[in-house]
């Protein structure tokens, strides 16, 4: 039971990554450090709907 999530840059709100995770194991919102092409640097990306 894995759910699709979208990761959005916390700086520019650009949605850069689609991934999946198990919401039963990780019900809380997680942050992932990813490269944002718009900001041109690594920044925390948050889950969005």
In the numeric block, which tokens belong to residue 12?
Answer: 């520019």
CB 41 within 8 A of CB 9: no
Say whether 19 sits in a helix, a strand or coil. strand
User: Do 46 and 5 meet the contact criterion of CB atoms below 8 Å apart?
Assistant: no
- Indicate whether 9 belongs to the interface with Zn ion (CB under 5 A): yes
Which residue, 14 or 21, has its beta carbon nearer to Zn ion? 14
Of 6, 34, 39, 46, which lies in the binding site for Zn ion, with binding defined by CB under 5 A? 39
Q: How far is the CB of 21 from Zn ion (least distance, A)?
A: 21
Residues in contact with Zn ion by CB under 5 A are 9, 11-12, 14, 36, 38-39
């Amino acid at each position: 039971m894995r759910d699709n999530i979208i990761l959005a840059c916390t700086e520019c709100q650009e949605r850069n990554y689609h991934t999946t995770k198990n919401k039963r194991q990780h019900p809380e919102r997680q942050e992932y450090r990813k490269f944002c092409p718009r900001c041109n640097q690594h920044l925390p990306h948050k889950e969005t709907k």
